Amino acid sequence: MILNRLEIAINAAVSAGDLLMDHYGKVYGIKNKESLRDVVSEIDELSESKVMSILQESDPGCTVLTEEKGLIGPDSDSRWIVDALDGTVNYIHNIPFFCVSISYWVDNRPSIGAIYNPYSGDIYYAEKGVGCFVNQKRLHLLDVELGNNLTAMAFSGKAYNPSMRSTEFGIFGQLNDLSQGCLRTGSAAMNLSYLSHGKFSLVMGKANKLWDVAAGLLIAEEAGADVKFNMTDKQKHLVDYIAATPSSKKKIYTDIDMSYFDL
Amino acid sequence: MKNKILVYGAGAIGRGYIPWIFPSDRYELSFVENNSELRGLLQKQKEFTTYRTKSGQYVKLICEFKDCFDLGEEDPTDYDGIITAVGARQVYALIDSLSNVDCPIVLFENDSKIPLELSELTGKSNIYFGVPDVITSNTAPAEMLEQDPLSIVTEDGVCFVEDGAVDLGGDISYVSQEELSKQWTAKLYLHNTPHCIAAYLGAMHGKTYLHESMARDSIYSIVEGAMNEMSRTLIQLFDLDKEFVEWYSKKELARFSNVLLYDPVLRVAREPFRKLGLHDRLIGAAQLSLSVGVMPNNLTLGIMSAFLYDEEHDEDFHIKILMNSLEKEKFLKLIINVNPHEALYKLLVKKWDESIDTLKGI
C-alpha cells in the first residue's frame, strides 16, 4: 500500500515507539554530548535506525534531518525532521515522559507532524490546514487564561550563551508565578503536544533543537494555539518559540520582558 | 394560546419529525440553526414541507414556524419547552444556552449518557432523554425538492420521553426511566446497529441511499444476520419477549428498505468513531453478544465496514489515515480502545483479513 506523508509519519512514529517500549527499563550505553543532560543512548540510535528504514522505504530518495546523524539524502528544502527519542534523560531514568517526533517541512515551514508517546499510547498528529488529532479525537484548543493552567518551558543547551542562564531562569520563575506552575518536563515535543491537548496554556523555549519541536509546532498551531517561532542560527537548527492560547500569550507579553527570545 | 417550543437543529429530526409530534394547532415552533445556508433559506421561506411515509404513500405537512435564529441570538428562557436534535457531539456547544432555562429540555441525541452529563455541566435537573424511534431522512426526492428546497421525508414513527418532561405534551409517549431504558436498548441495538451497518456496507459499494444498499442481496444478508445476532443477545440479556423482538426486527428490515425515505448513506454512516465507541452500537453490540455466547460474525463484518469507511468530508475522515498507518493490533488497541485480552479483540484480529476479503466480495 502507498502511504501519504502523514500516514508515513504516524507509522514510523508508532513503530519506533514500540521499539522504545521493548527496551524501556533496561540499561544502555549512555554518552554525554554537549552537557550532562544532553545525552545519547544506544536506544536513540536504534530508534532512529527504525525510523530511517521506514522513511527510506516509504519515501525513497527523501531528505531527512535527524538528531543523531544530521542531514541524510539530497540537499532539499523539503525534508523529514526526526527526533527518534525526545526525552532521552527521562527515558534512561524510567520516567515515562518521552516520545518519537517526526515531521515533514517544506521551505522552512512544517506541513506534517506526528508525535507518539508509547507509554501512554497517545498519537498526536496534524497536517497543515487540515487539523490536529490525538488518536481518534480532533483537538480544538480552548482559550484558557495563563493563571488557570500549567505552562512549560524548555531551556537552551548549557553550552548556549552561559552568561544568559540567569535571565532564562528568571523568566522561568516569572512564568511559574503567573500560572498554576511552570514545568521543565524534559521533552519539548511533549510540551507542545500537551498544549494542543489543553493540558498546558503556554509553552516556550530558547535555542531548542529543531528536531525537538518540528512536529510539535505544527500540532500546536493546528489545534488552535497562537504559535510564533524563529530559527536563530545559520544552520537553522536552533529555534526560539512561543506557543500559547491567545489570552496567555497576550498576558505574557504584557507581564514579562520577552526580549531574551529572538522572535 | 399555543405552547412555544424552541428546537435546536433544523436537520433531519428537527425539521422532519418534530412538526408531526408538536402540531401547529397547539404549538408554535422556532428553530436555532448554525448552518448559515439552511438558516438563510428557512428565514426567507418562513415555512417548509415535511412528508411522512404511511402505508406506502406520502402524507404532506407544511410547517409554518415563528423564528429561525443563529446560535446565540435566541432567548431560550422565552419558551415553554426546548428540544435539541443537533448531534451527539455538537450538543455540548449548547451548555451556556441551556444553563438558565427552567422549562423541560428534551434531548433527541441518540446517546443516553448525554442528558446526565449535561445535567452535571449545567447544574439543571430539567434535562430529559428522548428516543424518537423513527427514521428521518435529511433530504427528499428531486420532485419534492423542486417544489420546496427544504422538503424532508420522515417515517411514521413513535417517540418516547422520560415522564419528568410530561408538561411538554405533544404526541409523545411519556414513560418511566426504566421503560425508556428498555426502549433505548431496543433502539440502539435493534435499530441503530443494523442501520449503520447497512450504511457502511452501502458506502463501500457506492450507494447513495439506504434502500439502494438494502436492495443488494449480499448486504441485506449481513444486515439481517447482524439483526439476528442482536435479537438473540437481547432476548438472553434482558429477558425480552421473543415474539416482540422478532416482530421488531422484521419491521426494522422493512424500514431500512423503505424506498420512499431516500435516507442518505452519508447521514447514517457519519462519525464512525462515535458509533465505534466501547458501549455504542458496533463495538458495544459485539461485546454484548459475546457476553452471552452469541458469535458476532455479521456484527464483525459491520465493524470492519465501519473501520473501512472512506469519506473525506466526514468529521471522522481520519479513520482512513489511522487504518492505513497502523497495524491492526495497534489500531484496535490505541484507536478503538479494545483491550488485547478481550475476546472481541482476538476475534477481530483473527478475522481481519478474512473480513476484508468478504466485504470486498459482497
Pair B289, B319: CB distance under 8 Å:
no
Domain with CATH 1.10.1040.10 in chain B: 180-361
The answer to whether domain B3-175 has CATH 2.70.240.10 is no
Contact B306, B282 (CB under 8 A): yes
> A11 to chain B: which residues are within 8 Å by CB?
325-326
Query: Which residues are registered as beta bridge partners of B51?
Result: B60, B153
Question: B282, B307, B327, B334: best mutation site toward chain A, by most A Cβ within 10 Å?
Answer: B334
HSE, side-chain direction, 13 A CA sphere, residue A238 = 15
Q: Provide residues of A within 8 Å CB-CB of chain B.
A: 1, 3-4, 6-8, 10-11, 14, 18, 121, 123, 125, 133, 135-138
Q: Do A136 and B318 lie within an 8 Å CB cutoff? A: yes
State the residue for C-alpha cell 507509554.
A119
Q: pLDDT class for B138, splitting at 50, 70, 90?
A: confident
- Tell me how far the alpha carbon of residue B134 is from its chain's centroid: 9
Helix (H) or strand (E) holding B111: none
pLDDT value for A229: 97
Helix axes A210-223, A188-196, angle to 10 degrees: 0
- DSSP symbols for A50-119: HHHHHHHHHSTT--EEETTTEEESS--SEEEEEEEEE-HHHHHTT-S--EEEEEEEETTEEEEEEEEETT
Residue A133's closest chain B neighbor by CA?
B318
Angle between helical axes of B318-325 and B297-307 (0-180°, round to 10): 100
The candidate with the shortest Cα–Cα distance to A4, out of A127, A101, A136, A132, is A127
Confidence band, pLDDT 50/70/90 cuts, at residue B36: very high
Residue A158 has what pLDDT?
64
Between CA A194 and CA A183 the distance in angstroms is 12
Number of A/B CB contacts below 8 angstroms equals 40
pLDDT per residue as tens digits for the range B287-336: 999 999 999 999 999 999 999 999 999 999 999 999 999 999 999 999 99
Q: CB A121 to CB B333 under 8 A?
A: yes
The minimal CB distance from B330 to the residues A6, A14, A137 is found for A14
**Residue B136, pLDDT score:** 86
Residue A91 has pLDDT above 80, yes or no: yes
Q: Which residue from A minimizes the CA distance to B328?
A: A11
Same fold? A5-138, A146-255: no
Average pLDDT of span B188-199: 95
Domain ranges of chain A: 5-138, 146-255
| Superfamily of chain region A5-138 | Fructose-1,6-Bisphosphatase, subunit A, domain 1 (3.30.540.10)
Q: Which of B316, B324, B336 sits opposite A3 (nearest CB)?
A: B324
Q: Determine, for residues A10 and B326 on separate chains, whether the beta-carbon distance falls below 8 Å.
A: yes
d(CA A119, CA B340): 16
pLDDT at A28: 61
Q: What is the mean pLDDT of chain B?
A: 94
Are A7 and B321 within 8 A, CB to CB? yes
Cβ count within 10 A of residue B228:
16
**What residue of B is the nearest CA neighbor of A54?**
B325
User: Is the CB of A7 less than 8 angstroms away from the CB of B325?
Assistant: yes
Q: Report pLDDT for A36.
A: 52
Which grid coordinates are listed for A215?
Answer: 512536529
Nearest to B48 by CA among B70, B90, B20: B20
Mean pLDDT value across residues B43-70 = 94
Considering only CA atoms, give the Rg of chain A.
Answer: 17
Q: Tell me how far apart the alpha carbons of residues A131 and A223 are, in angstroms, rounded to a whole number.
A: 7
CATH top-level class for A146-255?
A: alpha beta
Q: Which of A8, A11, A135 is the closest to B335 by Cβ?
A: A135
Question: Does position A162 have pLDDT exceeding 80, yes or no?
Answer: no
DSSP sequence for B265-280: HHHHH--HHHHTSTTS
Indicate yes or no: CB of A121 within 8 angstroms of CB of B326: no
CB contact under 8 A, A10 and B273: no
CA distance to partner chain A, nearest, from residue B320 (Å): 9
From B335's Cα to the closest Cα of chain A, the distance in A is 6
Q: What is the interface pTM, i.e. ipTM, of the complex?
A: 0.92
Question: Which of A19, A136, A140 to mutate to test binding with chain B, by most B CBs within 10 Å of its CB?
Answer: A136
Residues of chain A contacting B315 with CB distance shorter than 8 Å: 138
In chain A, what residues touch B334 (CB-CB under 8 Å)?
A: 14, 121, 123, 135
pLDDT at A27: 62
Task: Give the pLDDT confidence score for residue A37 in this predicted structure.
Answer: 52
CATH architecture of the region B180-361: Orthogonal Bundle (1.10)
* Tally of CB atoms within 10 A around B254: 10
Judged on CB neighbours under 10 Å (0-12, 13-18, 19+), B54 is exposed
Quick one: pLDDT at residue A40? 65
Q: Do A14 and B326 touch (CB under 8 A)?
A: yes
Q: Do B334 and A1 touch (CB under 8 A)?
A: no
CA-based nearest residue in chain B for residue A14: B326
CB atoms within 10 A of CB A49: 16
User: B75 falls in which pLDDT band (50, 70, 90)?
Assistant: very high
The SS3 call for residue B129 is strand
C-alpha cell at A202: 503556554
Q: Note whether B321 contacts A1, CB cutoff 8 Å.
A: no
Distance in Å, alpha carbon of B321 to nearest chain A alpha carbon: 6
| B171 neighbors B159 (Cβ within 8 angstroms) | yes
CB spacing of A7 vs B324 below 8 angstroms? yes
Query: pLDDT tens digit string along B244-289?
Result: 788 888 888 998 999 998 999 999 999 999 999 999 999 999 999 9
Give the minimum alpha-carbon distance from A86 to chain B in angstroms, rounded to a whole number. 21
Confidence of residue A262 (pLDDT cuts 50, 70, 90): very high
Are A10 and B322 in contact (CB < 8 Å)? yes
Chain B nearest CA to A189, separation (Å): 20
User: 543523531: which residue's cell?
Assistant: A68
How confident is the model at residue B245, as a pLDDT? 84
Judging contacts by C-beta atoms under 8 Å, the chain B residues touching residue A125 are 321
Of B315, B324, B334, the CB nearest to A135: B334
Which pLDDT tens digit goes with each residue over A26-80? 866 666 665 555 556 788 889 999 999 999 999 999 999 998 888 999 989 999 9
pLDDT band at A218; cut points 50, 70, 90: very high
Whether residue B326 and residue A135 make contact (CB cut-off 8 A), yes or no, is no
CATH 3.40.50.720 in chain B, residue ranges: 3-175
pLDDT interval class at A161 (50, 70, 90): confident
- Do the Cβ atoms of B232 and B242 come closer than 8 Å? no
CA distance A190 to A198: 12
- Please give the pLDDT value at position A195: 98
pLDDT interval class at B221 (50, 70, 90):
very high
Distance from CA of A121 to the nearest CA of B (A): 6
Q: How far apart are CA B297 and CA A47, in angstroms?
A: 39
**pLDDT at B29 > cutoff 80:** yes
CB A43 within 8 A of CB A28: yes
